[in-house]
């Protein structure tokens, strides 16, 4: 899919920067696949009319989301707690007093959130196209259908289950270029008083922290309250609350209802004012972001080159999807990073997308600590710092790149 019109409002858009040729962020591969690896040019644009930050080219959805999907939500304990809390909040506050409510979650992955609805005996349905992670959800007692959510899927759900009281999505709305079909589906699926709650990495944080690794094939959008509100407004809906989250290096949780059904919170109005003050519609804002990305790339490369010259051992900590953008944009190879350690079995023994750095089991990191670990999973840094006291105690140091490139 390639476009030069805004996926949200159809206005013409043009790219303000390219992150160069990029492979599939989760496309970990074996050597026999190296010569047919897929690449696309990762150009980004921000729409001056509606504020939507977006990719201008994205691989087909089946290329990314299939039975070999490598991201299992349950690999982080922090995220497990985050989604347990959200599930409880929804059950206790949003669904409270509703007779036999129905919760629908798209992109439920391994059931990290819906399993709590299942446990509590609340009617729910997960829609998850990646069959391998959907199978794990099923084994966790979650009612799940393995397909892509869109308008047709919404109609099928209504026929089988009736309308929903709450529509949930975490780190998936920003993956879907065909947003109009999704919102038409939501409009049909949701009861008149129903609410949409979704969260995704937040554009404001990406701009502030230069966390450009949030941009990768799956993330076709980086949302803001402004752009989400503009998008839903076309369908008679509005954002009535917005709550910042610490997850994924800075996310926003959006609460959406049919227009006028719920009072707008002060928080959402304040967030929109902040976005105005940041000039999120202005090309100058993205020009600055581009310069910041280039500086971040140059700084990281020079630290790694220096360590290489000194003969230091550097490994990558966690083969995150985000790391694919860093590695390929900065041109990092096995000259800079000996291997990447990751706890996900499906990634181990494979090679990183694009630059083919070996991905090894976590035990390889523990067996012989490197001098430096480049922390690709900085969004889980609290959890990781607590776990890696031994590495640090033996003089191991971290290389960070968000919000600034530094050794610590
Ligand atoms: N909600 C989980 C998983 C996020 S990963 C979490 O926050 O950890 C995104 C998930 O969305 C993947 O499992 C992918 O298969 C799924 N997905 C992608 N497009 C989708 C669509 N159109 N409908 C439903 N799920 C989709
Ligand atoms: P995420 O940043 O997209 O959530 O991806 C997390 C990846 O990081 C996943 O591949 C598992 C890996 N990981 C580790 O290897 N060690 C850890 O301690 C944590 C928290 C994650
Ligand atoms: Zn637009």
pLDDT at 75: 85
Query: Do residues 11 and 47 lie in contact, with contact meaning Cβ atoms separated by under 8 Å?
Result: yes
Q: Write out pLDDT tens, residues 332-350.
A: 999 999 999 999 999 999 9
What backbone torsions phi and psi does residue 377 show, to the nearest 5 degrees?
-100, 50
Give the tokens for residue 220. 């076709």
Rounded average pLDDT over 152-162: 98
Residue 3 has pLDDT above 80, yes or no: no
Please, which residues have CB within 8 angstroms of residue 369's CB and are 6 or more apart in sequence? 391, 394, 396
Distance CA 336, CA 325 (A): 16
> How far does the centroid of ligand 2 lie from the alpha carbon of residue 319, in Å?
7
pLDDT tens readout for residues 196-234: 999 999 999 999 999 999 999 999 999 999 999 999 999
Using most ligand atoms within 8 A of CB, pick from 78, 129, 153, 198 the residue to mutate for ligand 1: 129
Ligand nearest to the CA of 211: 2
324/240 Cα distance (integer angstroms): 35
Mean pLDDT over the full length of the chain? 97
Per-residue pLDDT tens over the stretch 93-148: 999 999 999 999 999 999 999 999 999 999 999 999 999 999 999 999 999 999 99
pLDDT given for residue 144 in this prediction: 98
How far is the centre of ligand 3, averaged over its atoms, from the C-alpha of 55 (Å)? 12
**Cβ pair 344, 136 in contact under 8 A:** no
Q: How far is the CA of 107 from the centre of ligand 1 (A)?
A: 3
Confidence of residue 285 (pLDDT cuts 50, 70, 90): very high
Question: Is the CB of 219 inside a 6 Å radius of any atom of ligand 1?
Answer: no
Statement: residue 235 has pLDDT above 90: yes
pLDDT number for residue 351: 98
Whole-model pTM: value is 0.95
> Which of 82, 86, 104, 109 is the pocket-test mutation for ligand 1 (most atoms within 8 Å of CB)?
109
What SS3 class is residue 218?
A: coil
Ligand 2 neighbour 75 (Cβ under 6 A): yes
Amino acid 2: pLDDT: 78
In the chain, % of residues over pLDDT 70 = 100
pLDDT for 23 equals 97
Distance from the alpha carbon of residue 351 to the mean position of ligand 3, in angstroms: 37
pLDDT in tens, 185-195: 999 999 999 99
CA distance 357 to 315: 10
Q: What are phi and psi of 331, to 5 degrees?
A: 65, 45
Helix residue ranges per DSSP H, 11-97:
61-64, 77-89
| Mean pLDDT for the stretch of residues 80-100 | 97
């Amino acid at each position: 899919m390639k476009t030069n019109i805004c996926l949200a409002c159809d206005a013409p858009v043009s790219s303000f920067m390219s992150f160069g040729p990029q492979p599939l962020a989760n496309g970990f591969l074996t050597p026999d696949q190296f010569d047919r690896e897929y690449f696309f040019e990762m150009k980004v644009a921000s729409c001056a009319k509606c504020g939507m930050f977006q990719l201008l080219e994205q691989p087909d959805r089946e290329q990314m989301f299939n039975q070999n999907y490598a991201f299992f939500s349950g690999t982080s304990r922090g995220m497990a707690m985050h989604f347990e809390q959200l599930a409880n909040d929804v059950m206790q506050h949003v669904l409270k007093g509703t007779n036999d409510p129905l919760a629908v979650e798209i992109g439920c992955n391994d059931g990290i959130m819906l399993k709590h609805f299942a446990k509590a005996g609340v009617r729910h349905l997960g829609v998850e196209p990646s069959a391998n992670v959907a199978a794990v959800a099923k084994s966790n007692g979650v009612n799940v259908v393995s397909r892509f959510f869109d308008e047709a899927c919404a109609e099928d759900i209504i026929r089988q289950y009736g309308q929903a009281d709450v529509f949930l999505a975490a780190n998936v709305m920003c993956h879907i270029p065909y947003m109009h079909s999704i919102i038409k589906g939501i409009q049909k699926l949701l009861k008149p008083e129903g609410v949409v709650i979704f969260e995704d990495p937040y554009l404001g944080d990406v701009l502030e922290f230069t966390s450009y690794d949030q941009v990768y094939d799956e993330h076709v959008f980086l949302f803001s309250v402004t752009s989400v509100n503009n998008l839903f407004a076309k369908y008679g809906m509005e954002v009535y609350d917005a709550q910042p989250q610490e997850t994924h290096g800075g996310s926003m949780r959006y609460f959406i209802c049919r227009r006028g059904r719920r009072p707008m919170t002060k928080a959402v109005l304040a967030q929109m004012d902040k976005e105005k003050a940041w000039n999120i519609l202005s090309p100058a804002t993205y020009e600055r972001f581009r310069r910041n990305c280039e500086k971040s790339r140059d700084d990281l490369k020079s630290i790694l080159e220096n360590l290489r010259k000194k003969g230091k051992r550097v490994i990558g900590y966690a083969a995150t999807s985000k790391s694919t953008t860093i590695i390929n944009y900065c041109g990092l190879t096995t000259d800079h990073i000996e291997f990447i350690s990751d706890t996900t079995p499906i990634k181990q023994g494979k090679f990183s997308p694009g630059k083919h750095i070996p991905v090894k089991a976590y035990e390889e990191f523990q067996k012989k600590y490197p001098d430096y670990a480049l922390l690709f999973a900085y969004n889980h840094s609290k959890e990781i710092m607590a776990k890696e006291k031994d590495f640090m105690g033996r003089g191991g140091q971290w290389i960070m790149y968000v919000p600034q490139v530094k050794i610590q």
